[in-house]
Amino acid sequence: MKSKELIELRKVHVITQKEAVNELKLEGCTTVVIDVFLATSTIAFLLENQYEAVYAVKDSESALAVAANLPGPYVLMGETKGHSINGFIYPDPCLIEVANKNEVAIICSTNGTRAIEKAVNAKKLYISSIINGHVIAERIHDQEDDSSIVLICSGNDDRFSMEDFVGAGHIIDHLMQTGKYILSDSSKIARETYKSSMANGFQNLLESETAELLRSFHFPESMEYVIKHFEKVNVLPVLEGNKIVNERRKVRG
């Protein structure tokens, strides 16, 4: 077992959008992908609603290919550049219903699921949002590990996203409250951005580019739903093989 002192000296980095990810550099790292509006929030809500697993893929063609090889029941969720996809449920957490027995979900998106695909080389890959970042941080802190921690903000179609940066800061703030970590410059700024946003009830996130996009596609309640569930979803989505499952571990408190 490694000493707690060694664990507390882990480095924390924030990558501000998926396009900046160097996939090879993630090998050996504990990595977290964040897409607050909406993919990673939706994945967490799916697992909370008893879906056995979630398959995150880059597009509808990949989703249909996965579905063709599944023996049991599934639901298809997805969007492309904010637009609905024929035959798919829009990945709005407000639309999620409790799963049937052994049901899985397949989700594709413009940003979050593509960020997940770019991070599959990581030593450990978690999926986070402001709804469950507190338990993700706790799980990472409890690791008997000295690997660097890389937080990947999915971004908005090759652009920076305020809400994902706040989601990264959420994890960092919890880590710093429970231990000692070496923060990169982007990590320090993300933490301060999160603290400022949280102090104002995350109202600035409702003015983000992604929020405006979702409103334009007639999903005005999605963002408020996510914010309303801040730290209320106690699931640990982790990539195991080619699917995301809830890492069922006892969480303190």
Q: How confident is the prediction for the chain on average, in pLDDT?
A: 94
Q: Is residue 186 part of a domain?
A: yes
Rounded mean pLDDT, 130-154: 97
Domain range for 226:
4-237
Is residue 190 a part of any domain in this protein? Answer: yes
Residue 250 lies in a domain: no
Residue 242 lies in a domain: no
- Number of folded domains that form the chain: 1
The Cα 73–Cα 189 span in angstroms is: 43
Tell me the pLDDT tens digit for each residue of 159-212: 999 999 999 999 999 999 999 999 999 999 999 999 999 999 999 999 999 999
Does 31 fall in a domain?
yes
251 within domain boundaries: no
Strand ranges across the sheet with 74-80: 83-84, 74-80, 104-108, 54-57, 243-246, 237-240, 124-128, 30-34, 149-153, 11-15, 182-183
d(CA 99, CA 217): 26
What is the rounded distance in angstroms from the CA atom of residue 73 to the CA atom of residue 216?
Answer: 32
* Alpha-carbon Rg for the chain in angstroms: 17
- Determine what percent of the chain is predicted with pLDDT higher than 70: 94
Q: What is the DSSP string of 140-164?
A: HHH-S----EEEEE--SSSS--HHH
User: Is residue 29 in some structural domain?
Assistant: yes
User: 6-15, 42-51, 119-128, 142-151 — which is least confidently predicted?
Assistant: 6-15
- Asked if the structure places residue 249 within a domain, the reply is no
Residues 211 and 198: their CA atoms lie apart, in Å, by 17
Check which CATH number belongs to the domain holding 215 and give it: 3.90.1560.10
Report the pLDDT value the prediction gives residue 144, as an integer from 0 to 100. Answer: 86
Other CB atoms within 10 Å distance of the CB of residue 228: 11
pLDDT in tens, 223-249: 999 999 999 999 999 999 999 999 964
